[in-house]
Structure 1
Amino acid sequence: MPRYLSLVHIDERNASAQAPSPEFEKRMGALFEEITKAGVMLDTAGLTPTSQGTRVTWSGGKLSYTDGPFAESKEVIGGYAIIQAKDKAEALEWTRRFLEAHDAHLTVTAEVREIAEG
């Protein structure tokens, strides 16, 4: 079965500084339990803010390092999931359910891409 990477994009400048609501935690916990029991979830995690990251760039035969935060970035990757699904339609269905578990006032985007197997 193919594997898919879901990159979760957020607007870090508008991300809530508050802890997630208990209702959100309950919805997400139930979804993660279901997707894990279904054998679909392989790995998932949130990422630390860009202020704690470093970009490494290779250009002109040289490396450069830029410490975060990255002011020029409107959207950043806030987390990821690797899932194993029968096809892209199933991967998109799980992603839809993940996004709908979020509170309505948030804007969260997920980019779903099949992992190229060697």
Structure 2
Amino acid sequence: MRFMIIIKASQESEAGAMPSQELLTAMGNYNEELVKAGILLGGDGLHPSSKGARVRFSGDQRTVIDGPFIETKELIAGFWLWQVKSREEAIEWVKRCPNPMPGTEAEIEIRQVFEVEDFGAEFTPELREQEERVFGQIKKR
């Protein structure tokens, strides 16, 4: 099972504050543990929303909204993508994570990633073939 582990933003991360050397070291060590356990597929920190944009869809219309975005508690500061056996295993790994926002309350969200089998009959053999072709090209890079 794949899970996206989402690190919620804080006022400090949204203000562009960089992590301390201590946090970078702790996270680097934690990432090494994840790699040794064979579960880390990817992950990164994100720039503040002031450097981002959203595209709002309304029918055929597209509207670009430049950051920053107001609701900090709904923003993402970083993420990991993990391959684990269960939701419970993902939770146990998150509980071992260093506090991503030292000195404050922080929150990490755990969300399961859809797998091809989850889509049922609507995911036709042609769509499966397309999916394999597209993601096969990405893996070759």
- Runs of 5+ unmatched residues, structure 1: none
2:72 to 62, 71, 74: 74
Identity rate of aligned residues, in percent? 32
Per the normalisation by structure 1, the TM-score is: 0.84
> Deviations along 1:78-111, whole A, 9 cap, x unmatched?
111100111111111111112x344641232111
Structure 1 runs of 4+ aligned residues shifted over 4 Å read none
In 1: Cα distance, 2:93 partner to 2:81 partner: 11
With a CA cutoff of 8 Å and minimum separation of 6, indicate the structure with the bigger relative contact order: 1
The 8 Å contact of residues 8 and 80 in structure 1, kept in 2 or not, is answered as yes
The 8 Å contact of residues 5 and 112 in structure 1, kept in 2 or not, is answered as yes
More strand by percentage:
1
Which has the higher Rg, Structure 1 or Structure 2?
Answer: 2
**Superposition map of 1:14-93 within 5 A:** 14-15=12-13, 18-71=17-70, 73-75=71-73, 76-93=75-92
Per the normalisation by structure 2, the TM-score is: 0.72
Which residue type is aligned with residue 105 of structure 1?
Answer: G
Deviates more, 1:56-65 or 1:36-45: 56-65
User: 1:22 offset after TM fit, Å?
Assistant: 2.9
Length, aligned pairs only: 114
1:95 counterpart = 2:97: no
More helix by percentage:
2
In 2: Cα distance, 1:28 partner to 1:43 partner: 14
